[in-house]
Amino acid sequence: MEKILRINLNTRKIQYEKTDQEMLFFWGRGLIAALLMKEVKPTCEPLGRHNRLIFSRGPLAGTPVPCSGRLSVGGKSPLTGGIKEANAGGNLGHCLGKLGIKAVIVEDKVPNDELYVLFINKDGANLEKVPELRGLSTGETVKELQQRYGEKISAAVIGRGGEMGLAAAGVAVTDMEARPSRFAGRGGLGAVMGSKGLKAVVVDDTGVQMPKPVDKDAFKEANRKLVKILQEHPQTSEVYTEYSTAAALAVVNALGALPTRNFKQGSFEQADNINGDTLHDLILDRGGAGQVSHACMPGCIIRCSNVFPAKDGSELVAPLEYETLGLMGSNLGIGNLDDIALINAKCNDLGLDTIETGATLGLFMEAGIIPFGDVQGVLNLLDEVEKGSVMGRVVGSGALIAGKVLGLSRIPVVKGQAMAAYDPRGIKGNGVTYATSPMGADHTAGNTLRAKVNHLEPRTQAKISETNQVNMAGVDNLGQCMMVVPALGGSFQIFIELLNAFYGWRLDSDFVSKMGRQVIKFEREFNRLAGLTEADDKLPEFVYEEPLEPHNSVFDVQEEDIRGILRF
């Protein structure tokens, strides 16, 4: 049975525990919800000693199953005041799987403003004081960790943003080339990590073999079937592979839902300059370090990541993804890939979520601090974050706080968290997800973009959102990448076959959705106990009242439809 590693940063106590039987089927996002409900007082201070920071992986991490190594990071969010799980690709989830560690639970905080690294390998775990890492960027941190622990490590690190406790800070996870570029970005969990005095979690799986399935032949056959499904579906073998997540930009722009100039418009006149086609062609034209297709974790055959090169062919940033193109591009009136990539790289170094930070910078532009399209002005504001100035701290504190400091009323947040790059007036199902998800305005909690419906028609959107939220909670419980979902045709039977063969279980065909409902039930209950109410299940006022060009639509899904979902 997999073990749980528990660390108390105040007492330095490190211990391994057996997984409770009641937690047997909770993994990833689900285990975070179950553990927080069991161990954390929902009214605690997110950056205080009573919050937990949890790293949790899926049941098939460490195996050859494609896209099974997502790492969930969770705790109480300093942005939303409720529960938060953010997940990332990279190699750390797989390393924990090979070591047989189901989750790492970080308790309390270090005394005297000290800074520590948690190092884990086959021989155990230990804490090491690292004052020399204070103030380093995420990339500099990983280089120092490699010198100390070896080049084959995997790591989750924070940058200056996390150290300062800024609510826009995420946790950066290394990919297979040791770039700390796979972000568990949403919800301010980097600030939680920084508040505890933890600079990095480092895992070395050297000398450890892959875990063995109970039924080797059945597992091999089920895995072969999944590979075939992904290889034969155009979304997972062509669109994502060749054009990365940036392929969504042209689609969302055509639907009139691309955030433009602080969510004032739904389409961007320079969208063709920053879409997936242009990104793909520019990477190929420049060559050098550029890659149109890149796997962020072992065993990924979708390869939806990329490496974006500078004009001289050197690596500028990896990856450059849709959400960043939307929030740091069109939302700021910036229509040049090089400029967006430069801003993206700066945010990565600081350890800041590009969604939250992009929405925040849009507010600085609306307030007239810098004009829309001002790339140098954006970089100057990010420099202020690095300096730790009051202005920089406002930038890094997220859209809600920044908007209030700037005296604005049009603040694109739900439950204190910035909306992702899908305007809810153009894709109304995502608006329902933003409003009702325990996660706040998080597109990964139940994205309806690919639902075969009229996204402007309000009557069907609530139920579509509910279905997608349940399914994604179930997929996140399994530590699976959401990119596999389009190829599955709404059925998760292949996951059931893999789990039954690997563990010798006898799971029912509705296991994924059943667990999804239970996870959301736990999350909603945590939020209720934390003080969130139905009054928090609403979008910002302007989306109900301001028609969005080009369709002149407002968010008009009926409140009774919204109130009627997620009542498990």
Token digits for 198? 């933890």
Is the distance from CB of 405 to CB of 366 less than 8 angstroms? Answer: no
- Let me know: does 289 contact 314? Beta carbons within 8 Å: yes
Sign of CA dihedral 521, 526, 527, 528: positive
pLDDT digit string, tens, across residues 155-192: 999 999 999 999 999 999 999 999 999 999 999 999 99
Domain with CATH 1.10.599.10 in the chain: 213-238+424-568
Q: What is the pLDDT along the chain (568 residues), one digit of tens a residue?
A: 689 999 999 999 999 999 989 999 999 999 999 999 999 999 999 999 999 999 999 999 999 999 999 999 999 999 999 999 999 999 999 999 999 999 999 999 999 999 999 999 999 999 999 999 999 999 999 999 999 999 999 999 999 999 999 999 999 999 999 999 999 999 999 999 999 999 999 999 999 999 999 999 999 999 999 999 999 999 999 999 999 999 999 999 999 999 999 999 999 999 999 999 999 999 999 999 999 999 999 999 999 999 999 999 999 999 999 999 999 999 999 999 999 999 999 999 999 999 999 999 999 999 999 999 999 999 999 999 999 999 999 999 999 999 999 999 999 999 999 999 999 999 999 999 999 999 999 999 999 999 999 999 999 999 999 999 999 999 999 999 999 999 999 999 999 999 999 999 999 999 999 999 999 999 999 999 999 999 999 999 999 999 999 999 999 999 999 999 999 9
In degrees, to the nearest 5, what angle opens at C-alpha 155 toward C-alphas 316 and 208? 125
Give the pLDDT confidence of 277-325 residue by residue, as tens digits. Answer: 999 999 999 999 999 999 999 999 999 999 999 999 999 999 999 999 9
> What DSSP character marks residue 323?
H
Distant-in-sequence, close-in-space partners of 217: CB < 8 Å, separation ≥ 6: none
Q: How far apart are CA 399 and CA 442, in angstroms?
A: 14
Q: Is the peptide bond before 371 cis (omega within 30 degrees of 0)?
A: no
Euclidean distance between CA atoms 233 and 248, whole angstroms:
17
Instruction: Please give the radius of gyration of the chain, using alpha carbons only, rounded to the nearest integer.
Output: 22
Distance CA 478, CA 242 (A): 26
Sheet holding 315-317, edge to edge: 291-294, 305-309, 315-317
Q: Do 396 and 349 form a contact (C-beta atoms < 8 A)?
A: no
Distance CA 252, CA 202 (A): 38
312-361 tens-digit pLDDT: 999 999 999 999 999 999 999 999 999 999 999 999 999 999 999 999 99
Displacement of CA 220 from its chain's centroid (Å): 30
**C-alpha distances out from residue 237 to 20, 219, 371, 451, Å:** 39, 23, 40, 20
327-336 as b/e, with b when 16 or more CB fall inside 10 Å? bbbbbbbbbe
Strands 53-57 and 71-76: antiparallel
CA-to-CA distance for 103 and 30, rounded, in angstroms?
11
Distance between CA atoms of residues 105 and 36, nearest Å? 10
Instruction: State the burial class of residue 285 (Cβ atoms within 10 Å of its Cβ: 0-12, 13-18, 19+).
Output: exposed
SS3 labels along 429-482: HHHHHHHHCCCCCCHHHCCCCCCCCCCCCCCCHHHHHHHHHHHHHHHHHCCCCH
Query: b/e map of 132-160 (b: 16 or more CB within 10 Å)?
Result: ebeebbbbebbebbbeebeeebbbbbbbb
Which of 2, 55, 59, 19 is CA-nearest to residue 512?
59
Quote the CA–CA distance of 265 and 11 in Å, as a whole number. 52
What is the distance between the alpha carbons of residues 336 and 38, in angstroms, rounded to a whole number? 47
Query: Superfamily assignment of 3-203 in CATH?
Result: Aldehyde ferredoxin oxidoreductase, N-terminal domain (3.60.9.10)
Contacts of 559 (CB under 8 A, 6+ apart): none
Alpha carbons 425 and 555: distance in angstroms, whole number: 5
pLDDT of residue 1: 63
Architecture of the structural domain at 213-238+424-568 = Orthogonal Bundle (1.10)
Q: What are 120's strand-pairing partners?
A: 125, 203
Where are the CATH 1.10.569.10 domain residues in the chain?
244-422
Gap between the Cα atoms of 1 and 59, Å rounded: 11
State the pLDDT at residue 258. Answer: 98
Domain 244-422 listed as CATH 1.10.569.10: yes
Of 521, 426, 425, residue with least CA distance to 473 = 521
Would you report the helix, strand and coil content of the chain in percent, each value rounded to 5?
45, 15, 40
- Fill in the DSSP letter of residue 16: E
- Dist CA 239 CA 230 (whole Å): 12
The rounded distance, in Å, linking the Cα atoms of 484 and 490 is 11
First to last CA, the chain: 30
Task: Give the whole-angstrom CA distance, residue 554 versus residue 542.
Answer: 9
**Computed from CA positions of residues 435, 436, 441, 444, in that sequence, does the dihedral angle turn out positive or negative?**
negative
